[in-house]
Amino acid sequence: MERLQRKLRFGQIGGGNGSFIGHVHRRAALFDGLTEFAAGALSSTAERSYESGADLLLPAERNYGDWREMLAAELGQPEDERLDYVCICTPNDAHFEPALAFIEAGFNVIMDKPLVHTSEQAAKLVAAVEQTGVTFGITYNYTGYPMIKEAREWVRSGRLGTLRRVVVEYPQGWLGERLEAEGHKQASWRTDPARTGIAGAVGDIGTHCESLMHYVTGLEIEALCAEVSTFVEGRAVDDDASVLLRLSNGATGILWVSQVCTGEGNGLNIRVYGTEGSLHWNQENPFELVHRAASGPVQIFRRGDSATARRGSRLPAGLEEAYFEAFANIYMNYSDTIRARLLGREPTALELDFPTVYDGARGVRFIERVIESGRQGAAWTNF
């Protein structure tokens, strides 16, 4: 297949000094050596943006004070130097505006999750993407793990039979105390409705669960019943939720998240039960996929056989890859899709294997439905 004879150029909005996720996006984007960090508007003030860019050895002329400056300047670049895509990894309240602006200006955009605050905003982004035809991605990064991809292939190929039950959990403990009252940066914006949106844990990690469940099983939520709680006194958003799910094929599901499960790190895990067997994957041992059939041994797969899993593995069996590599897989497929289009060909299904604006919009809908059910006393709510 023809190869693009140059590196892709990407610019980053947000993700400067003090950001948790910014460096992850950069490492993921650069991981395979075929992309260049070309521009940035890295922080919420011009001064801190410049400082972050300098620390990252960004060329001074493309180290911007804010995203509007970046947009204007990049539009002024000759086409063969213009950014190939823009990564937005600001807090949630600063997603919508730059995303819409860059999309409408014809830039490819990849964003952190959740997409935006409301389904109205989401619909506008969907429309803009459809209208402009830009390549849009959203980093539901847990779908990037090879063993998650392998799990999806097992479901698709029917090896698990008909699905009956899905359990997806995401316990964390880091917000077990009221860190936002102590000026903790990550805690502060995540518990401030003006910035994070209507949901706390449900938006921050619940949407990862929904994304993972959908990616692996292909099922849609038809209705849900959500007990949404705020355990830490004085907190302005939820920090814990338990959700019963009715799924599109008649399967039942449980989805629960918490940021007040003291002692938990990042315990995202999913179990999928079908008539022929089950799979279990746990983010804290992400290179293992555990399979159980009606009889025979428990089987622990440490490498996937499917094309999609193999494409996401860069090392032979016994040498492990983890968080950064999974994140890089999102970027690999996203940027290979851009490369294909630059070369004038249709991206392959393997290249297109990254979360899209529709996944982002569905995630926003999920947040809204869960919060609504919770407000109604955990009433059953159609999706």
Among the residue ranges 41-49, 104-112, 195-203, 322-330, the one whose residues contact a second copy (CB under 8 A): 322-330
CB of 333 to a second copy, least distance (A): 18
Neighbours of 345 (CB within 10 A): 12
Q: Which of residues 26-45 bind a second copy (CB under 8 A)?
A: 26-27, 30-34, 37
x/- letters, 5..24, toward a second copy (CB under 8 A): xxx------------x--xx
Residue count at the site for a second copy (CB under 8 A)?
85
Which residues are CB-contacts of 136 (< 8 A; sequence separation ≥ 6)? Answer: 103, 108, 109, 110, 111, 125, 129, 356, 357
x/- letters, 47..76, toward a second copy (CB under 8 A): --------xxx-------------------
- Residue 196 phi/psi, 5-degree rounding, is -85, -20
CB nearer a second copy, residue 122 or residue 289: 289
Is residue 234 involved in binding a second copy (CB under 8 A)? Answer: no
Which of 44, 118, 188, 285 touches a second copy by CB under 8 A? 285
x/- letters, 249..278, toward a second copy (CB under 8 A): ---x-x-x-x-xxxxxxxx-----xxxxxx
Structure-token pair, residue 129: 């993407």
CB nearer a second copy, residue 121 or residue 207: 207
- Residue 356 phi/psi, 5-degree rounding, is -110, -175
Cis geometry, peptide bond prior to residue 114 (ω within 30 degrees of 0): yes
How large is the angle between the packed helices 323-342 and 146-157, nearest 10 degrees? 70
Is residue 297 involved in binding a second copy (CB under 8 A)? Answer: yes
**Angle in degrees, CA 289, 290, 293, rounded to 5:** 135
Reading across the β-sheet that carries 8-13, which strands appear in turn?
A: 35-41, 8-13, 85-88, 108-111, 136-138
Is residue 171 involved in binding a second copy (CB under 8 A)? Answer: yes
Is residue 318 involved in binding a second copy (CB under 8 A)? Answer: yes
